[in-house]
Amino acid sequence: MQEILDPEACTTMREVRAGVDAVDTELVQLLKRRFGYMDAAARIKPERGHVRDEARKAQVIANARAHARAAGIPDEAIGDLWELLVEASIAYELVKFDARPARD
């Protein structure tokens, strides 16, 4: 197994690619955790119409952009990524909501 270096320590493209692959693996695990919260939301929300919340969506994207700016990475690109992430999360949550057992 190749040692994963910090970006500043990389001197070869092999090291860079290994780092990117390692970060991607971590990101997928974080996304799995995030989607777990969508499972919880689908279980908790009383009505299907509550799944889409445009005010919350805007807040989540604004938060991500602010964190990106603070981290010194392109906030517009992060905003675009979060737009896709939130829409995918909503779609996922709707599927999970619709799969819930009927409630009396």
* CA–CA dist 36, 74 (Å, integer): 27
100 annotated to a ligand binding site: no
33 annotated to a ligand binding site: no
Token readout for 83 is 């737009």
Q: Are 51 and 80 in contact (CB under 8 A)?
A: no
34 annotated to a ligand binding site: yes
65 annotated to a ligand binding site: no
* CA–CA dist 60, 78 (Å, integer): 11
Residue numbers in the known binding site are: 17, 34, 45, 93
Residue numbers in the known binding site for substrate are: 17, 34, 45, 93
